[in-house]
């Protein structure tokens, strides 16, 4: 076992575990503990598996106390380590959107798509060998379905704007939603006196702006006081954050449509998003604006790629 990874404990048996994906503070798994039973929300990549097992051991929780892996969607920074982790969790069932479940049972298409986004070498560095999950340990969750974790009822909500295989988990006991990527990303290293800095993510290949707006509103509609993001953990004061996400999505769409006919559309869109976030960072009162912008470089690149796929799917070029 490695040393205990950075964790953060919250009320109602919720704990964030840093999966150390790419760097500290970029991606978190969350444990939910109720009456000695455990659910894990998103697993990170294979490299996160020892960290999650160490977190369970630190909390004196046996691996067989884990009943569920809630995999909000099958992008590999969220679910890439699920198959490997399941080997150590004898009772656990992986819960997935119906469109995502087949890709955990047979990850061939998922692997091919990720290699296309990241390239062969980078893919291998990030994700290694994706372990399939046996079909009898995978369960599809319907929209609105409730899952009983030790007497605590958790509701699965399909939220398909980031990916068509995405769902969130509403936790009324904690007045919280575990949002995967449906409520954007917000790195704690960008927090200032003005609060969290948040932005939507349009990672390839299934971005849908109409559904993305609807997902944000559905999360708000739960009345939750907290949202636990995979990137990165808890945010509160949700209404202004949702308003910012809506504004950013509208900017993304307008900026993408503006450059759709240009031969150098990728460069132009990248410049537009970079300038936009440079201005937003300055307005947010960040101590080191250049470092903050550098922290967002990868997200901007992936957002540009996702927006270009969206434009192409609509026949814009």
CATH topology of domain 7-243: Metallo-beta-lactamase; Chain A (3.60.15)
The percent of the chain in helix, strand and coil, each rounded to the nearest 5, is: 45, 20, 35
Q: What is the pLDDT of residues 168-185, one digit of tens each?
A: 999 999 999 999 999 999
Write down the pLDDT at residue 5. 55
Write down the pLDDT at residue 40. 98
Q: What is the pLDDT of residues 149-163, one digit of tens each?
A: 999 999 999 999 999
Q: Is the peptide bond before 205 cis (omega within 30 degrees of 0)?
A: yes
What percentage of the chain exceeds 90 in pLDDT?
Answer: 91
Angle between helices 265-284 and 238-259 (to 10 degrees): 150
143 pLDDT more than 50: yes
Write down the pLDDT at residue 226. 98
Q: What is the CA radius of gyration of the chain?
A: 19
Write down the pLDDT at residue 35. 98
Cβ-count burial 50-80 (b if 16+ within 10 Å, e if not): bbbbbbbeebebebebbbbbbbbbbbbbbbb
Q: What is the dihedral of CA 60, 61, 64, 67, to 10 degrees?
A: 180
Please give the span between the terminal C-alpha atoms of the chain, in angstroms, as a whole number.
Answer: 51
Helix (H) or strand (E) holding 109: helix 108-118
Confidence of residue 93 (pLDDT cuts 50, 70, 90): very high
Give the CA count within 13 Å in the CB-facing half-sphere of 88.
19
For β-strands 66-70 and 37-41, DSSP reports them as parallel
119 pLDDT more than 90: no
Mean pLDDT of 43-60: 96
Q: What is the pLDDT of residues 253-272, one digit of tens each?
A: 999 999 999 999 999 999 99
43 pLDDT more than 50: yes
Write down the pLDDT at residue 124. 86
Q: Give this prediction's pTM.
A: 0.96
Q: What is the pLDDT of residues 219-236, one digit of tens each?
A: 999 999 999 999 999 999
3 pLDDT more than 60: no
Average pLDDT, the chain: 95
Domain boundaries, the chain: 7-243
Write down the pLDDT at residue 1. 32
DSSP-based three-state secondary structure for 73:
coil
């Amino acid at each position: 076992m490695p040393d205990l990874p950075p964790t953060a404990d919250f009320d109602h048996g919720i704990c964030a575990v840093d999966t150390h994906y790419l760097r500290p503070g970029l991606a978190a798994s969350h444990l939910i503990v109720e009456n000695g039973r455990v659910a894990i929300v998103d697993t990170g990549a294979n490299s996160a598996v020892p960290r999650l097992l160490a977190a369970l051991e630190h909390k004196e929780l046996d691996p067989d106390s884990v009943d569920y892996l809630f995999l909000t969607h099958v992008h590999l920074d969220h679910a890439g380590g699920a198959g490997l982790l399941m080997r150590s969790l004898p009772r656990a069932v992986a819960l997935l959107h119906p469109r995502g479940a087949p890709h955990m049972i047979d990850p061939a298409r998922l692997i091919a798509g990720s290699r296309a986004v990241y390239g062969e070498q980078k893919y291998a560095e990030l994700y290694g060998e994706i372990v399939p999950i046996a079909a009898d340990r995978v369960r599809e969750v319907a929209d609105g379905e409730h899952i009983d974790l030790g007497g605590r009822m958790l509701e699965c909500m399909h939220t398909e704007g980031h990916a068509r295989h995405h769902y969130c988990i509403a936790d009324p006991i904690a007045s919280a939603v575990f949002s995967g990527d449906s409520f954007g990303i917000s790195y704690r290293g960008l927090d200032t006196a003005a609060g969290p800095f948040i932005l939507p993510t349009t990672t390839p290949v299934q971005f849908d702006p109409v559904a993305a707006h609807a997902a944000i509103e559905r999360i708000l509609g739960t009345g939750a006081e907290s949202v636990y993001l995979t990137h990165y953990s808890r945010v509160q004061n949700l209404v202004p954050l949702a308003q910012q996400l809506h504004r950013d999505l509208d900017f993304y769409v307008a900026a993408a449509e503006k450059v759709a006919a240009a031969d150098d559309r990728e460069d132009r869109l990248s410049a537009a998003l970079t300038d936009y976030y440079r201005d937003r960072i300055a307005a947010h009162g960040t101590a080191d604006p250049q470092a903050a912008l550098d922290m967002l470089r990868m997200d901007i690149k992936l957002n540009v790629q996702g927006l270009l796929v969206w434009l192409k799917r609509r026949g814009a070029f």
